[in-house]
Structure formats: C-alpha cells, structure tokens
Amino acid sequence: MTKRITIGFLTLFLLFACSCAPKASRAIRKAERMERREERRKQREYEKAKEAHFKHQAPKTKKMIKEDKRRARRLNRELKRR
C-alpha cells in the first residue's frame, strides 16, 4: 500500500514537473527573441543616424573621414599580424 502511494505521488510529481518545463522555456525563448529584435532595431537606428551625420558634413570633412577610416584599417591589419 505504501509503495503504491509513493509511486503514485512520484508519478504525479513528474507529470507536474514535465508539464511546467516547456512553458517556462518558451517564455524564455520569446524574451530572448524580443531582445534580439530590439537590439537589431537599435543598431539600424544607430546606422541611420551615423549616415545622416556623415551626409551633413562638408565635402572636405567627408574626404578626411574616409582617409582616416582607410588609415585605421591599415594600422589594425598591421597590428593583428604582429
């Protein structure tokens, strides 16, 4: 009799534990997905603002910015090789 009660209790506990687990993981996945979407949205907004800032610069300044980017890329490549 005691074994049956123990087995029955254990079975109910396992069923309850198994039924709750997927809901929690779905909620976590949904939250992570929303967080990734928000991060991508922020990145797009940042890129748009950066591009708008670049467009408002004088031609001479634009040229200087491009040269600085090239110089930085070259320098970074050299530093990575060492």
At 33-61, the pLDDT tens digits run 999 999 999 999 999 999 999 999 999 99
What 31-39 contacts at long range (C-beta under 8 Å, 24+ apart), as own/partner pairs, is none
* Angle made by CA atoms 46, 52, 53, in degrees to the nearest 5: 90
In the predicted model, is pLDDT for residue 20 greater than 80?
A: no
Q: Which helix (H) or strand (E) holds 66?
A: helix 59-81
Range 8-13 average pLDDT: 76
In the predicted model, is pLDDT for residue 3 greater than 80?
A: no
For the CA atoms of 13, 16, 18, 24, the dihedral, rounded to the nearest 10 degrees, stands at -130
**27: pLDDT confidence band, cut at 50, 70 and 90?**
confident
Residue 62 CB: number of other CB atoms within 10 A? 13
Here the tokens at position 26 are 């779905």
In the predicted model, is pLDDT for residue 21 greater than 80?
A: no
